[in-house]
Amino acid sequence: MRIFALGPSRTLGATVAAALGRELDPCEEQDFEDGEHRIRPLVSVRGEDTFVLASLGGEGASFLHDQLVRLLFFLATCRDNGAARVTAVVPYLCYARMDRQTKRRDPVSFRYVAQLLEAAGCDRVVTLDVHDLAAFQNAFRCETVHLEARSLLAARIPALAAGHPVTVFSPDAGGVKRAELLRRTVEAATGAAVGFGFMEKHRHDGAISGSLFAGEVAGSAVFLIDDMISTGGTIIRAAEACRERGAAAVIAMVTHGLFAPGSERLPGDGLLDRLLVTDSLPAATRRAGKGVEIVPVSGLLGEVIARLHNGEPLGDLAALED
């Protein structure tokens, strides 16, 4: 087995490799003056089960597209040099929100990314908390593995609730299923009843609207759950609404910390007691401290890589039922 990590994802890759009791395999990334680059493994991959980790997002458009091309070239290089199987481990997969047409002549960019990965010779794609699971599974023709950070986040809830009743809350209607699954997980783990709520949110030409608020939050520790945080506007809006209705504490829990320009105010001048985010993206780890807590995903990624390599079942890791 070979495990590589590219660019800024090498930090996460090193912790994933450590979880497997090994080190990353070496690779070279060389930049040329004309903007081109060369990327190659520095060890033989012939006949090897090869895993390549690269998280695609959180650093701006030009950086994102550069990292996508580097991943494509590296996957193809491994295939050209005789790798037995090539798996792309992409904790954050770019363009996942562009999975359908919402306006005339819209691109379905997520499908195009899938086609690029497959054309580069990728046999399997592993990702974490993709924006829309059905869109992810339908976009690819190669094998897909979808992981969830739900159990990692749920484990932190009892301590953070500090004795208050717990309410799991979705900041928009699109995340209701995600929030309900987290609510069930916490209930099963603690044996205590867990409340549930959500807000209405509509986005049009960059403006957010919607006033519906469902759920009782007064006196509760409210856990806002979402798959990603970019500028933080959606989370802050939900936190304000929960505070206005008497929440005892408001904690945000998100998988992917994009932290785009505009997110500097997070965790929100007292609106959020804490913001939990995984280390799926380098942008998140740089925000650690001052109310931002990092939840490692290296153990989860390492375990799934080991099981895939050994041909073992993934059901419990991939949140699938028999």
187-216 confidence digits (pLDDT tens)? 999 999 999 999 987 665 656 656 789 999
CATH of 150-295, one of 3.40.50.720, 3.40.50.2300, 3.40.640.10, 3.40.50.2020: 3.40.50.2020
- As averages over each run of 10 residues, the pLDDT of the chain (322 residues) reads 96 97 97 93 98 88 90 98 98 92 92 97 96 91 95 95 96 90 94 93 62 91 94 90 95 93 78 94 86 94 97 81 56
pTM, full prediction? 0.93
> CA 39 to CA 31: how far, in whole Å?
9
Task: Give the per-residue pLDDT at 157.
Answer: 96
Identify whether 290 is a catalytic site residue: no
Q: What is the CATH number of domain 2-149+299-310?
A: 3.40.50.2020
DSSP character for 173?
G
Catalytic option among 103, 177, 201, 290: 201
Average pLDDT, the chain: 92
Task: Give the per-residue pLDDT at 318.
Answer: 74
Q: Give span(s): CATH 3.40.50.2020, the chain.
A: 2-149+299-310, 150-295
Task: Give the per-residue pLDDT at 208.
Answer: 65
With H, G, I as helix, E, B as strand and everything else as coil, classify residue 201: coil
Task: Give the per-residue pLDDT at 88.
Answer: 98
Task: Give the per-residue pLDDT at 232.
Answer: 87
- CB atoms near residue 304 (< 10 Å): 22
Token pair, residue 70, equals 């580097």
Task: Give the per-residue pLDDT at 266.
Answer: 83
Report whether the peptide linkage leading into residue 313 is cis, meaning its omega lies within 30 degrees of zero.
no
Name the nearest CA neighbour of 268 among 299, 308, 306, 241.
241
Unique residue bearing structure tokens 């290296």: 298
With H, G, I as helix, E, B as strand and everything else as coil, classify residue 254: strand
Q: Are 206 and 200 in contact (CB under 8 A)?
A: no
Task: Give the per-residue pLDDT at 210.
Answer: 64
